[in-house]
């Protein structure tokens, strides 16, 4: 007969734990006779059905840890941009002059082939804006480069530097 008492006591404890976990703020700020009756009824019901609730609580906490969280989308917004420049001005800013000759004397140095490909996709008469964005996707990084600016959203960019930032 003592096992029945232990079973019901364990159920009451699991039920109280679930109630406090779920309705902690509601019970603390809006405590009335109706709430007390509801809590007592729930605890009585859960005292007999507590294995199902215990299984659900464990299952839910394990699933919550295993759920894949969506990664924050990388999006460049106007506050990440500087003053608009022409393509020629951007190339002049990014011309690399290496006295040892290890870097080609072209705009963007070793990145010149990627720059030429990016430049070929630009709309006629478009302008570039320098960009600097800090993005956190597991690690915190600073992205620097240029974005094509126009009337619509910013959808094309060219990175010249990606640096990891210590957190």
Name, in order, each residue with C-beta under 8 angstroms of 76's C-beta and a sequence gap of 6 or more.
131, 133, 147, 154, 157
Res 74: pLDDT: 79
Rounded to two decimals, what is the model's pTM? Answer: 0.55
What local confidence, expressed as pLDDT, does residue 11 receive? 73
Q: Exposure of 11 by Cβ count < 10 A (0-12 exposed, 13-18 middle, 19+ buried)? A: buried
Could you give the CA distance from residue 73 to residue 153 in angstroms, rounded to a whole number?
14
Q: In whole angstroms, give the CA distance from residue 50 to residue 12.
A: 8
Give 146's strand partners.
Answer: 130, 158
Q: Where are the domains of the chain?
A: 2-66, 78-164
pLDDT at 47: 67
Q: 4: exposed, middle or buried (C-beta count within 10 Å: 0-12, 13-18, 19+)?
A: exposed
Q: What pLDDT is attached to residue 113?
A: 92
Residue numbers of the chain with a pLDDT score lower than 50: none
- End-to-end CA distance of the chain: give it in Å, rounded: 58
pLDDT for 29 equals: 59
Helix (H, G, I), strand (E, B) or coil at 164: strand
């Amino acid at each position: 007969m003592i096992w029945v008492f232990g079973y019901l006591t364990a159920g009451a404890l699991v039920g109280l734990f679930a109630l406090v976990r779920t309705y902690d703020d509601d019970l603390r700020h809006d405590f009335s006779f109706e709430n007390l009756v509801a809590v007592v009824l729930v605890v009585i019901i859960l005292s007999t059905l507590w294995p199902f609730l215990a299984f659900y609580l464990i299952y839910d906490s394990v699933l919550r840890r295993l759920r894949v969280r969506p990664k924050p989308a990388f999006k460049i917004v106007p506050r990440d941009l500087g003053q608009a420049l022409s393509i020629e001005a951007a190339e002049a800013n990014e011309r690399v002059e290496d006295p040892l000759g290890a870097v080609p004397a072209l705009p963007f140095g070793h990145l010149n082939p990627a720059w030429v490909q990016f430049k070929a996709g630009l709309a006629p008469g478009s302008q570039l804006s320098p960009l600097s964005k800090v993005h956190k996707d597991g690690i915190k990084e600073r992205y620097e480069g240029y974005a094509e600016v126009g009337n619509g959203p910013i959808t094309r960019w060219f990175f010249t530097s990606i640096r990891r930032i210590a957190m």
